[in-house]
Structure 1
Amino acid sequence: MGCGRKDNIGGTSHRHEGCVSDVVKTILDIQNQAVDDDCDNCGTSCYLEPLGGLVSPTRRNADTRVFMLLNANGLPFFAFFSTPEGAVLPSVFFRVEDVFDSCATLRVVAPWDEEEPVNLLNDDETGISMGLLSEVISFRKTDTCLTVDLSCFCGVQCVKDVNLHICD
């Protein structure tokens, strides 16, 4: 189970989606409820999960649960996005847009400090500098999306509930 391993059940090899897929599907459900209900101002159902609970109990201030995916070594998966100025930077932060089977479409979420995107690349530009994660204080939506196989990851870490203005 998990990490893309195959389980041998009754002499037959089966691929198990694992808990990462379950968590990402749950994040999508929670986000969809917030976007659907907040965009049409009908968020009165008692069954809605409180998106925004990672920051505060106010669901109306968040439309995205930002998360990281972790590989078998516990390191964050990253993808690239383009800034409005044309720079290409990496991010380890994502918003789930859709889930199908064990795959998901993710939107890259840009990490920001007070004034600009945070370049998370290490000094030799071969990977992510974990120390730079502490400089991230806010997030911005990007137009960059990618499709991933969720069975390739061993962990998912929720970071923060934010309002990326998905409805705008």
Structure 2
Amino acid sequence: MGCKKHDSDTGNCVCDAVAAIKEAQDQVDDRVDCRNSCFNNLLSPTNNNNGLDTVPFTLQSKSGGYFFATGALGRDDCFQTVFFRVENIDEKNCCATLSLLRPDADLDFDKCCVDPISLCDVDELERTRYCIEVDLDCFCAIQCLDPNLVGDIDKHKCR
């Protein structure tokens, strides 16, 4: 069964989840139904958000692998990540601008794919201004993570 077989706003469950995350980041409200659902506001004041403004998440491809991106190309502080923050979303076309969240531990990559076990070594994510544009139709799974993982934004700029 493909991802577009769900009853949802756009016909794509990942697109709908990213739109919900963007809404949660844009406005803090008091809706709380499930602690880790991408469709609920993890940044709600009733969740003791302490000024948090990011719902970090990972994406998986239709083949089941983690989607990853590289930030700071051509620099000494180049990094790879599977952790993202939504910055903007075009729900009509199911496309989004995602900023890369830099993990505090190096992720292990084997040729094309990240070793899922290496994700367990990550204790903190740092916001960056490195961004990518993605077609959310290319993904079949999204996992929201604890907003407390995310630290302050660094000095990098979207390119």
**Structure 2: any 5+ residue segments left out of the alignment?**
33-40
Structure showing greater Rg: 1
Q: Secondary structure at the match of 2:56?
A: strand
Displacement of 1:164 after TM fit? 3.9
- Over 3 Å counting, the alpha-carbon distance change for 1:155 and 1:46 in structure 2 is closer
Equivalent residue for 2:16? 22
Q: Aligned equivalents of 2:71 and 2:27: distance in 1?
A: 27
Q: Aligned equivalents of 1:52 and 1:111: distance in 2?
A: 24
Q: What's the % identity of the aligned pairs?
A: 33
Q: Show the 5 A alignment for 1:2-21.
A: 2-3=2-3, 17-21=11-15
Q: Secondary structure at the match of 2:143?
A: strand
4+ runs deviating over 6 angstroms: none
Equivalent pairs counted in the alignment come to 138
Q: Secondary structure at the match of 1:87?
A: coil
Equivalent residue for 1:64? 54
CA contact (8 A) 2:65 2:113 kept: no
CA contact (8 A) 1:17 1:151 kept: no
Superposed CA deviations along residues 76-129 of structure 1, whole A, max 9, x for unmatched, are 10001129x7232210000000001200000000111xxxxx22133x554312
Q: Show the 5 A alignment for 1:22-41.
A: 22-34=16-28
Q: Show the 5 A alignment for 1:89-100.
A: 89-100=79-90
CA contact (8 A) 1:21 1:150 kept: yes
Q: Show the 5 A alignment for 1:36-115.
A: 49-51=41-43, 57-82=47-72, 86-100=76-90, 101=92, 102-112=94-104
Q: Secondary structure at the match of 2:113?
A: coil
Q: What TM-score comes out, normalization by structure 1 length?
A: 0.70
CA contact (8 A) 1:105 1:147 kept: yes
Equivalent residue for 2:138? 152
Aligned-residue Cα RMSD (Å) equals 2.9
